[in-house]
Amino acid sequence: MNLSTLYKISYGLYIVSSKKENNFNGQIANTVFQVTSTPPTLAVSINKKNLTHAFILESKIFTVSILSQTTPMTLIGNFGFKSGHNVDKFKDINYKSGITGAPVVLESVIGYLEAEVINMLDVGTHTVFVGNIIEAESISEGIPMTYAYYHQIKGGKAPPTAPTYIKEELKKEGGKMDKYKCTVCGYIYDPQKGDPDAGIKPGITFDALPDDWVCPVCGAGKEAFVKEK
Ligand code: FE
């Protein structure tokens, strides 16, 4: 059996949110899909350890914000690498309360759906929630982020086509273009890519990053980084 075959399945990237009384939480999920069209229903698979899981169980409501391909890593990091147990993920985030009362993230989002849970399936580590879609809005005509794009382009696994000025920077730095890894979330700072979302152009070494630069995914400071071997 070759489990890597699973990588050939396509997914999008979403923020699934819910509420519990007056508290909001949301998380990144790629496992979102339409189940039926009449009536329109939607399924999400959520890890039982996540706060969003507890909120959906309690309120029987969830919203799905569909992320654009241009979504910055900071937004994905806020909802994907932080825990609602420790931080208010909606602080400083542009969102609104949907008709369900659950939050709908509006930043970098091209559309959203709201659903009321009509069924759930216990699948061990996760629960698959199936919801009746009670609201659906398209916000813009942007391209949806796919899971593959997030990994291959945003995550830096695609080979970069290095423009000439990067090579010049390399010479200037004596070839010291070491990669550094975030010990909190695993993000790798690659000087050949820089951190465009934070205005760091390609060719900036890790040491040359500003002192207040933070991990674009989880928000950890430079001190949380170690050199990649
Ligand atoms: Fe990090």
What confidence score (pLDDT) does residue 165 get? Answer: 30
**Ligand 1 centroid to 4 CA: how many Å?**
25
Predicted TM-score of the model (pTM) = 0.76
CA distance 29 to 65: 10
Task: Give the pLDDT confidence of 72-109 residue by residue, as tens digits.
Answer: 888 888 898 888 888 899 999 999 999 999 999 999 99
CA distance 14 to 89: 15
Conformational region of residue 150, where left means phi above 0, alpha means psi within -120 to 50, and beta covers everything else: alpha
Cβ atoms 81, 185 nearer than 8 A: yes
**Ligand 1 centroid to 131 CA: how many Å?**
33
Residue type at 156? G
**Ligand 1 centroid to 229 CA: how many Å?**
17
**Ligand 1 centroid to 154 CA: how many Å?**
14
**Ligand 1 centroid to 188 CA: how many Å?**
8
**Ligand 1 centroid to 179 CA: how many Å?**
14
Task: Give the pLDDT confidence of 195-223 residue by residue, as tens digits.
Answer: 988 899 999 999 999 989 999 888 888 98
For residues 228 and 64, the model is more confident at 64
Tell me the C-alpha to C-alpha distance, in Å, between residue 188 and each of 75, 194, 223.
17, 10, 14
Looking up tokens 């700072």, which residue turns up?
Answer: 189
